[in-house]
A = this chain, B = another copy of it.
Amino acid sequence: MPDVYVIGTATTAFKRWPETTHRVLTQWVLDALERDAGLPLARTEGIWFGNCALHVFGQATSRGQVLLSQPMASGQLDASTSIVNVEAGCATGSLAFHGAAQAIAAGHANLTLAIGVEKVFLPQALEKTRELFDGAMDQLTPEVPTHFYEHAAKAHDLDYAPRPDRIALLDVCALQAKWHMNTFGTTVEQLAASAAKNHTHGALNPNAQYQKAMSVAEVLADKAVLAPLTRAMCAPISDGAAAALLCSGEALKTLPAPVRDRAVKLVGVELASGRYRALGEPSVTQVCAQKLYRRTHVEPSAIDLVELHDATSFSEIANLEALGFCAWGQGGAYVASGAASLGGERPVNLSGGLVSKGHPLAASGLAMVHELTTQLRGEAGPRQAKNVKTALWQNAGGLTGFDEAACAVGILTR
């Protein structure tokens, strides 16, 4: 099976960008990608385009075909290159990456592109943003998740009172956090330690939405969202775009030395679906990571650096356990120990994570790939980790019970 390399990545700054069109974000990230790769994108043989929210702007189908028509007309991209639109909520960017990698692995292309573009902040229609996030859950038979969560809360004697003015994902996350705290003794200070760490990392990332280091006390003192979560523990509403250029090992040999020298190798990327599981059962992230570890023969102990899906700081703790970086139930203590901080044994979310960097749905997974690629190349400046050889990202989206509906885990190496 052909080897797959990442030879270029790019991300826009993530922020609220109400005045900037999807076309502008798309063009910006393509230009940045072309500069980063040092190769014309016109050689691209297939494009995987991720987006979740364009239907709110009136473009429900042919999303990538519409947004890439101008770079195709200008010749920046080959006019006939295929475009596959992919989507699975907040995991969308990683699905785009997965498709682009698979085309190379199948021997069907030598150079492919994955791109995610998202505008989520709608100042004139804030209820649309909430609807978008609620769409991550079952809207066709909404009684199924409703009964599931109510039953689980009752069985564990936990508060669960979603409100129509609040993104429902937060209530589900808070419910899981409370169960974890009751079961394992995880503390709100440990959740805050995750958020403080990521905000402190994000202060070193010029593309992060928030660039302000925070202490545990500051995170705890921030605006309450829903106990145990404060605002600083939750990913903000963000716009942005990110992209990656992938290349076969065979074609890489023919490219200029500067491209070869900065290439990062894909060890593997795996997808999995969530299920209606009990709170104490393995999560979709654990299932997905186990599949990946088995297939790649990489052990969690070999991972030097991690970008993971901290939609809330509780998610970071749960995902660290699911990925096998600490014992079950010990994610809070692991983060509070400093192990996951810049300078620690295995830095996690040096980009700032979703809580600081921001989370423009379809762009988030590709921004994780961008951060890992930048770190593996040693180009991360003040937030550069030391001795990074092997790095993992985890990106998940939608909700099926307590699992994300879709999960992606991937490993890159130098």
A interface list, Cβ under 8 A from B: 1, 21-23, 46, 52-55, 57-69, 72-73, 79-89, 95, 98-99, 102-103, 105-108, 132, 135-141, 144, 270-276, 284, 287-288, 291, 397-400, 405-406
Give Cα A288–Cα B80 distance, bound, in whole angstroms: 8
Task: Pick the 8 closest A-B CB pairs, nearest first.
Answer: A82-B271, A62-B398, A105-B106, A65-B405, A58-B139, A106-B106, A79-B275, A62-B405
Question: With a CB–CB cut-off of 8 A, which chain B residues contact A284?
Answer: 80
Report the nearest B residue to A57, measured CB to CB. Answer: B140
Question: With a CB–CB cut-off of 8 A, which chain B residues contact A399?
Answer: 62
Give Cα A391–Cα B107 distance, bound, in whole angstroms: 23
Q: A60-B52, A140-B67 are in contact. Are A273 and B82 (CB under 8 A)?
A: yes
Tell me if B107 and A406 are in contact (CB < 8 A): no
Question: With a CB–CB cut-off of 8 A, which chain B residues contact A53?
Answer: 60
Give Cα A125–Cα B138 distance, bound, in whole angstroms: 22
Give Cα A89–Cα B55 distance, bound, in whole angstroms: 13
A345 → chain B closest CB, angstroms = 30
Tell me if A86 and B85 are in contact (CB < 8 A): yes
Tell me if A86 and B88 are in contact (CB < 8 A): no
Report the nearest B residue to A55, measured CB to CB. Answer: B55
Question: With a CB–CB cut-off of 8 A, which chain B residues contact A272?
Answer: 80-82
Report the nearest B residue to A56, measured CB to CB. Answer: B60
**Can you list 19 A-B contacts with CB-CB less than 8 angstroms, sorted by A residue number?**
A1-B107, A46-B271, A54-B140, A59-B138, A61-B136, A61-B398, A62-B397, A64-B88, A65-B406, A66-B138, A66-B405, A73-B276, A79-B275, A81-B272, A82-B270, A82-B272, A87-B87, A99-B99, A103-B106
Give Cα A95–Cα B105 distance, bound, in whole angstroms: 18
Report the nearest B residue to A69, measured CB to CB. Answer: B400
Tell me if B106 and A102 are in contact (CB < 8 A): yes
Give Cα A359–Cα B65 distance, bound, in whole angstroms: 21
Give Cα A54–Cα B60 distance, bound, in whole angstroms: 10
Apart from A55-B135, A61-B397: 8 A-B pairs, beta carbons within 8 A: A58-B135, A62-B136, A62-B399, A64-B88, A66-B139, A82-B406, A99-B102, A105-B106
A115 → chain B closest CB, angstroms = 14
Q: Which of A102, A273, A397, A406 has the most CB of B within 10 A?
A: A273
Q: Which of A1, A69, A399 has the most CB of B within 10 A?
A: A69
Contact for A62 among B81, B291, B406, CB less than 8 A: B406
Report the nearest B residue to A90, measured CB to CB. Answer: B61
Contact for A398 among B65, B136, B398, CB less than 8 A: B65
Q: A271-B46, A276-B69 are in contact. Are A87 and B103 (CB under 8 A)?
A: no
A394 → chain B closest CB, angstroms = 14
A404 → chain B closest CB, angstroms = 9
Report the nearest B residue to A272, measured CB to CB. Answer: B80
Question: With a CB–CB cut-off of 8 A, which chain B residues contact A287?
Answer: 80
Question: With a CB–CB cut-off of 8 A, which chain B residues contact A87?
Answer: 61-63, 85-87
Question: With a CB–CB cut-off of 8 A, which chain B residues contact A105?
Answer: 106-108
Q: A62-B406, A82-B271 are in contact. Are A21 and B136 (CB under 8 A)?
A: no
Report the nearest B residue to A73, measured CB to CB. Answer: B276
Tell me if A84 and B23 are in contact (CB < 8 A): no
Give Cα A107–Cα B88 distance, bound, in whole angstroms: 23
Report the nearest B residue to A91, measured CB to CB. Answer: B62
Give Cα A106–Cα B144 distance, bound, in whole angstroms: 36
